[in-house]
Amino acid sequence: MSPFFDTNVLLYAVRPADPRAERARLLLADGGIISVQALNEFTNVARRKLGQPWGEINEKLGAVRALCEVKPLTVATHERALTLAERYGYQIYDALQVASALESGCSILYTEDMQHGQQLEGLTIRNPFEAEGK
């Protein structure tokens, strides 16, 4: 089963000076699943925080889309995320990633934004940048 990637994995993969870049690129090279939300968040951070030009952002997004299957956000995803946010105390954007991963049938969600090792509804949260995640 393919893993699901949170936005932070995508961002680290394109930042060569970051010590997490190599691990992120290795994970993405094997493919996986992301949501449209990850593409949107990537675009926002690349533009606003990293100051990257639109052409470079589009090129990087194309590379990510070539490696990963992209899942849409739907009203059903949103409703499931609301339930998850309430049940587990997640922020809505994290809950949307979890909901998308669950809807995609993934057993692993790679992120550094949630509790490493947490299991919910058949999904395991893994921080790929912790010693255990390597």
- What would the pLDDT profile of 89-129 be if each residue is shown by its tens digit? 999 999 999 999 999 999 999 999 888 999 999 999 999 99
- 123: which 2 tokens? 């999904």
**How far are the Cα atoms of 31, 36, 62, 81, 84 from residue 68, in angstroms, in the given order?**
5, 11, 10, 22, 24
- Mean pLDDT over the full length of the chain: 94
DSSP letter at 46 equals H
Asked if residue 95 belongs to a domain, the reply is no
Asked if residue 80 belongs to a domain, the reply is no
Structural domain including 22 reads 4-71+106-127
Asked if residue 86 belongs to a domain, the reply is no
Asked if residue 31 belongs to a domain, the reply is yes
Contact 120, 95 (CB under 8 A): no
Q: How many folded domains does the chain comprise?
A: 1
d(CA 65, CA 86): 31
Asked if residue 77 belongs to a domain, the reply is no
**What residues contact 47, with CB distance under 8 A and at least 6 apart?**
54, 57
Asked if residue 63 belongs to a domain, the reply is yes
Asked if residue 115 belongs to a domain, the reply is yes
Query: What pLDDT is stored for residue 16 in this prediction?
Result: 79
